[in-house]
């Protein structure tokens, strides 16, 4: 199970690495840190809203986290 989680994490981190290469995110952004903060924030949000999350608020959460690394 841990190996699968590591593989999925690596895939997501690669997405952030490509965004940095394309100039969409700051060049000094840490892809693993972005993933950890975003994953943790979304997980926390979902746990606080077990009856279903408000999609607009979830999108706002993601935008808030990514705002720190956008160009």
User: Which pLDDT value is given to residue 4?
Assistant: 87
pLDDT digits (tens, 9 = 90+) for 1-31: 778 888 999 999 999 999 999 999 999 999 9
pLDDT digits (tens, 9 = 90+) for 28-50: 999 999 999 999 999 998 898 87
Q: Following CA atoms 50, 51, 56, 60 in sequence, which dihedral angle do they give, to the nearest 10 degrees?
A: -10
Q: Span 55-62, mean pLDDT?
A: 88
Q: Is residue 37 part of a domain?
A: yes
Residue % of the chain over a pLDDT of 70 = 97
User: Which pLDDT value is given to residue 53?
Assistant: 65
Q: Is residue 57 part of a domain?
A: yes
User: Which pLDDT value is given to residue 36?
Assistant: 95
Q: Which residues pair with 25 in a beta bridge?
A: 70
Helix, strand, coil shares of the chain as percentages rounded to 5? 70, 5, 25
Reduced to 3 states (helix: H, G, I; strand: E, B; else coil), residue 63 is helix
Structural domains of the chain, count: 1
Give the pair of three-digit tokens for residue 27.
Answer: 């060049």
Q: Quick check: 65 and 38 in contact, CB under 8 A?
A: yes
> Which structural domain, as residue segments, surrounds residue 51?
30-71
Mean pLDDT across the chain, nearest whole number? 91
């Amino acid at each position: 199970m841990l190996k699968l989680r590591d593989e999925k994490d690596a895939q997501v981190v690669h997405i952030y690495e490509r965004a940095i290469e394309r100039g969409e995110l700051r060049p000094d952004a840490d892809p693993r840190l972005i993933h950890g903060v975003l994953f943790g924030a979304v997980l926390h949000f979902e746990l606080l809203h077990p009856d279903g999350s408000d999609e607009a608020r979830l999108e706002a959460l993601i935008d808030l986290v990514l705002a720190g690394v956008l160009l």
